[in-house]
């Protein structure tokens, strides 16, 4: 039985949309989710605007099994994620004693400034997500996981998220490559893909050091089907007089 668990990622931040900052969280989280048996099924990048955050959170939490957000949980005026996740759920944003304690511990102070206290304001009913890097926690509310935007912090929070999610069937992926244009193989790819349920084949052209070709990536939650499809694909490539290569994909 194939069990699909699907997630959305909401990246919150003007700095990504203006091009000032390169997002590094999408790719990391995509691979992490794959390893957990969670299919990342949509990503949205939205600005630091209250209503946009609320709408995106509510649309995604009603559509996907899990929702991850990154960004906007720091101490300054443009950090408005927590309050708008609270609003999306219709709950209050409260000073959270445990979060306050974590901040005081990490900052080595018994007297937090008003700005830093913002980072201890957590929606009512949420469960904290540990931040071993810089103390200020994320949180889980319903099926929504609110994480930091700074990649090293976001990555450290995922370690704690692993205790809070249940993945489905893991997708297995294998690929073979040809050094000819992908268009020659279009019919073959369709045939092989149509032979197996739950199986997809992606075709990704590459140009590398003067030679070009394509990688065919076969993916399915049923590992045996992936092996059979790779074999069938290889046979069909040979049958038309072409060669294929396996191993690491050319970039």
Contacts with a second copy, residue ranges (CB under 8 A): 11, 14-23, 26-28, 30-31, 33-34, 39-48, 52, 74-79, 113-116, 118, 150, 171, 173, 181-187, 189-190, 193, 200-205, 217, 219
Residue number, 127 or 212, with CB nearest to a second copy:
212
218 bridge partner residues: 174, 201
Burial 163-187 (b: 16+ CB within 10 A, else e): eebebbbebbebbbbbebebeebee
Q: How many Å is the maximal CA-CA distance in the chain?
A: 74
Closest CA to 224 of 185, 248, 182, 196: 196
Q: Residue 172 Cβ, how far from a second copy at the closest point, in Å?
A: 12
Q: Closer to a second copy by CB, 90 or 108: give it.
A: 108
Cα dihedral 187, 189, 195, 200 sign = negative
Please state the closest distance from residue 125 (CB atom) to a second copy, in A: 26
- What is the distance between the alpha carbons of residues 137 and 135, in angstroms, rounded to a whole number? 6
Closer residue to a second copy (CB): 152 or 159: 152
- Min dist CB 216 to a second copy, Å, is 9
Residue 3 or 184 with smaller CB distance to a second copy: 184
Q: In the complex with a second copy, which residue's Cβ is closer, 127 or 193?
A: 193
Contacts of 174 (CB under 8 A, 6+ apart): 217, 218, 226, 227, 230, 246
Least Å from the CB of residue 61 to a second copy: 16
CB of 9 to a second copy, least distance (A): 8
Closest separation between CB of residue 67 and a second copy, Å? 14
**How far, in Å, CA of 133 to CA of 123, rounded?**
22
Q: Which is nearer to a second copy, 70 or 141 (CB)?
A: 70
């Amino acid at each position: 039985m194939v069990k699909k668990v699907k997630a959305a990622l909401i990246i919150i931040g003007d700095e990504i949309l203006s091009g000032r900052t390169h997002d590094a969280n999408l790719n990391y989280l995509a691979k992490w989710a794959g390893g957990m048996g969670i299919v990342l099924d949509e990503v949205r990048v939205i600005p630091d605007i209250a209503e946009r955050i609320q709408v995106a959170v509510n649309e995604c939490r009603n559509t996907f099994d899990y929702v991850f957000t990154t960004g906007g949980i720091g101490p300054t005026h443009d950090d408005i994620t927590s309050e708008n996740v609270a609003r999306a759920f219709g709950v209050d944003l409260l000073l959270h004693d445990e979060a306050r304690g974590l901040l005081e511990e990490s900052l080595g102070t018994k007297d937090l400034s008003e700005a830093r206290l913002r980072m201890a304001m957590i929606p009512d009913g949420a469960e904290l997500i540990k931040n071993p890097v810089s103390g200020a926690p994320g949180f889980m509310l319903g099926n929504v996981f609110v994480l930091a935007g700074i990649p090293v912090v976001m990555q450290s929070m995922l370690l704690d998220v692993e205790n809070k999610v249940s993945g489905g069937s893991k997708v297995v992926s294998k690929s073979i490559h040809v050094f000819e244009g992908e268009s020659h193989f279009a019919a073959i790819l369709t045939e092989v893909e149509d032979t197996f349920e739950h199986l997809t084949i992606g075709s990704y052209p590459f140009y590398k050091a003067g030679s070009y070709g394509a990688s065919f990536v076969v993916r399915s939650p049923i590992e045996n089907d992936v092996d059979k499809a790779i074999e069938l694909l290889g046979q069909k490539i040979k049958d038309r007089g072409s060669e294929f290569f396996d191993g690491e994909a050319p970039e």
